[in-house]
Amino acid sequence: MKHRGLGYTLISLCLAVAAVDVALFAAFAPGSEKPGTRLIPEHVEIRAPESSSSPDSLPSSELPKPVQKPPVNVPPAPEPDTGKVAYLTFDDGPTPKTPEVLKILKDHKATATFFTVFHPESDIYYRRIADSGCQLAIHAYNHDYKPLYASVESYFADFYKMQAYLRKFTKTPVTDFRFPGGSSQTVTDKRMFCKIILETQKQGLRYFDWNVSAGDATNAKISAEYVYNNIIPAAFQYDRPVILMHERSPYTRAALPRIIEALKEKGYSFGQVKDLSETVQHRTPAYAAKVLAE
C-alpha cells in the first residue's frame, strides 16, 4: 500500500510540472503577448555583453572600413579650344636633320609646314615629310636670288620645276609657297619683283611670309636660349603666329621642344599654312599694284 501511495504522489508531481511547462510555452510563444503584459520581470537588468561596445568607442584602426566602389573610367576632359593656332614653318630644307625635327614634332603632338628647296639625293627626306602628315611647300628650286628674280619668266620656270619635283611625294600639285627672302626682300629690282607678286595672284597661288622669326638664319654665334626668346613671347601677341625657323640650325632644334610646350601652355594648337584663310604677307598684291602704278 505504501508503494502504491508513493506512485500516485510521483504521478501527481509529473502532471503538475507538465502543466507549468504548458503555461510557460503559451506565455512566451510568438504572438502570445497581450497588451500591457511585461514578459521580463522589472527587477531583472538587461546588460550588453562586456565585450561589445559602440563603433564610436572602437579605435580607428578597428572601425569597419567603408565599402570602396570601383573607380569609374572617365576620360579626361578635352583641352579647351581657345581658337589660337600656331604655324611652325621651316625654310631651306630638307636636310639630314629633318628626321630629328619630325621626331620632335611627333613626340610633342605638333605639326609644321616645310618650305623646301631642291637638294639632290634627298628624296628620302622629302618623303619623310610627306609621310609624317606635315605640309610640303615650295621655297625654290634654285635659291639664288639674282637668276630667280631676274624676270617673271625666270621666277615661274623655277617655281614649276620645283612643283614638278615635289609631285613625286604628294598626291596633288603643291601651290603654297614662300618667296626666298620673303615678299619684303629688297636685294632685287623692286618693280620686277612687284610684277612677280601680281603674277602669282593671277595664277591663283598663295605666298606666305611670317610674323615671328627665330633669327636663326644668321651665321653669328647664337644659342637655343636666343632662339627661344626670339619666338616666345613674341608669338603670344598673335592668335595666328606664323613662325619662321630653319631646321639646319642646331639651336633651333634644341629649343623646339620648349617652344612647342610654351605655346601649348598658352592654349595654342598647331596647324599648317594651307589651312589659313588669311595669309601673312609683308608685301601684298595691292602694294605691288600701287608701286607699279606710280
Among 282, 121, 141, which Cα is nearest to 211's? 282
pLDDT digits (tens, 9 = 90+) for 62-85: 555 554 454 455 555 445 567 999
Domains parsed from the chain with CATH numbers: 88-293 (3.20.20.370)
Q: Which amino acid is at 14?
A: C
pLDDT the model gives residue 171: 87
The interaxial angle of helices 190-202 and 152-166, nearest 10 deg, is: 50
Q: Which amino acid is at 66?
A: P
Among 207, 196, 185, 202, which Cα is nearest to 278's? 207
Supply the pTM of this predicted model. 0.73
Q: CB–CB of 114/208 below 8 Å?
A: no
The residue that leads in pLDDT, 180 or 3, is 180
pLDDT the model gives residue 37: 41
pLDDT the model gives residue 182: 98
pLDDT > 90: percent of the chain: 70
In this structure, are strands 112-117 and 135-140 parallel, antiparallel, or unpaired? parallel
Coil, helix or strand at residue 232: coil
Sign (positive or negative) of CA dihedral 88, 94, 100, 106: positive
Backbone angles phi, psi at 24, to 5 degrees: -65, -40
pLDDT digits (tens, 9 = 90+) for 183-216: 999 999 999 999 999 999 999 999 999 999 999 9
pLDDT digits (tens, 9 = 90+) for 127-148: 999 999 999 999 999 999 999 9
Q: CB–CB of 212/234 below 8 Å?
A: yes
Mean pLDDT (the chain) is: 83
Does residue 8 surpass a pLDDT of 90? Answer: no
Coil, helix or strand at residue 145: helix
- Residue 224 region by backbone torsions, left for phi larger than 0, else alpha for psi between -120 and 50, else beta: alpha
pLDDT digits (tens, 9 = 90+) for 94-135: 999 999 999 999 999 999 999 999 999 999 999 999 999 999
